[in-house]
Structure 1
Amino acid sequence: MPSSTAQAQYLLRQPNLPLASSWSPIDADELVEIPLLGRVSAGMPIEACLDAGSIEVPTRMVRRNTYALRVHGNSMIDCNIFDGDVIIIERRESAENGETAVVMINDQEVTLKKFYIEKSGVRLQPANEEMAPIYLRNSDIQVLGLVMGVVRQPDLAA
């Protein structure tokens, strides 16, 4: 069942800018339905749990392998991603340093963090100075996708 778009704000990521300042509001002229596959933690990783739903987003936000996840938590607030937002994800298997990615840990838990490759492995960095980074071995993580957009629905905030 598509969600209401009456008060939704659509933010599209602009390339080559820091994520905190790269969001550009776009109009909802032409909407298309994409899968809303569940939720992702912006905080401590949570168990991966698929949910079958959908959300309508502007066609400009959709690429080949696009899906959406609802954000639960406050670890990405300095990147302008808040609890209750729906993030638009482009399915990818890798991420560059500094990209905001949905990452699966040990084939069980999923989290949303900034991704950094380091000598000893991978650092998953929150965009909230009150939260600590998560350090893991490369073999412990799998990148599921990169954040390309945000749908903010104030009336549905978690």
Structure 2
Amino acid sequence: MLNAAPHYLQRLPNLPMAQAWRTIAPEALIEVPLLGQVSAGLPIEACPGTDYIRAPARMVRRNTYALQVCGDSMIDCQIHDGDVIIIERQESAENGETAVVMINDREVTLKKLYIDRDGVRLQPANDAMAPIYLKNADVRVLGLVMGVVRQPDRLN
């Protein structure tokens, strides 16, 4: 499958993440900044990149960027190791949202976010992995997942 086009998945609102994806055609591709990697496993140090990826215009808003996923903690939400996720920059998230979060201003991870008065639970979407529990002050939401760009050699 040389030079095959990527597979584009757009998130549908108000559905559980595992069922919230619609395959879309790659019409009107535009460049989105690929700012580095995000862990879908143990948090990794934030290391910004300066590359670009092409994504369908309907997945891109005013404050959109992309991150490459490293790890398997979100596989039950159809986000796999090597996927590039399209993120809408936001500073808050509802309980249960799949979000990119920064921990202690230095590590980033991709998890489902649950907040209560006792703290924050970062929940993987993989039963083989344990949640991460933190204080509210230790977590900052960076954005929400709006789409996935999957390379043809990674199609499941």
TM-score normalised according to structure 2 size = 0.95
The partner residue of 1:125 within 123, 126, 138 is 123
- Structure 2, gaps ≥5 residues long: none
What is the Cα deviation at residue 7 of structure 1?
Answer: 2.5
Q: 34-43 or 112-121, which moves further after superposition?
A: 112-121
The alpha carbon displacement at 1:130 in A equals 0.5
Aligned match of 1:149: 147
Distance in 1 separating the partners of 2:3 and 2:97? 28
Runs of 5+ consecutive residues of structure 1 not aligned to the other structure: none
In structure 2, the partner of 1:90 is: 88
Q: Which amino acid aligns with 1:33?
A: E
Shift of 1:5: 7.5
Contact 1:97 1:117 in 2 (8 A): yes
TM-score, structure 1 as length reference: 0.94
Partner of 1:37: 35
> Which ranges of 4 or more aligned residues in structure 1 deviate by more than 3 Å?
154-157
Q: 2:79 aligns with which of 74, 81, 86?
A: 81
Q: SS of the counterpart of 1:78?
A: helix
CA distance in 2, matches of 1:146, 1:37: 15
> What are the residue-to-residue correspondences of 1:5-154 with 2, within 5 Å?
6-154=4-152
Residue correspondences, number: 154
- Listed one character per residue, the Cα deviations across residues 88-125 of structure 1 (whole Å, up to 9, x for unaligned) are 00000000000000000000100000000123111000
Q: Does the 8 Å CA contact 2:32/2:66 hold for their aligned counterparts?
A: yes
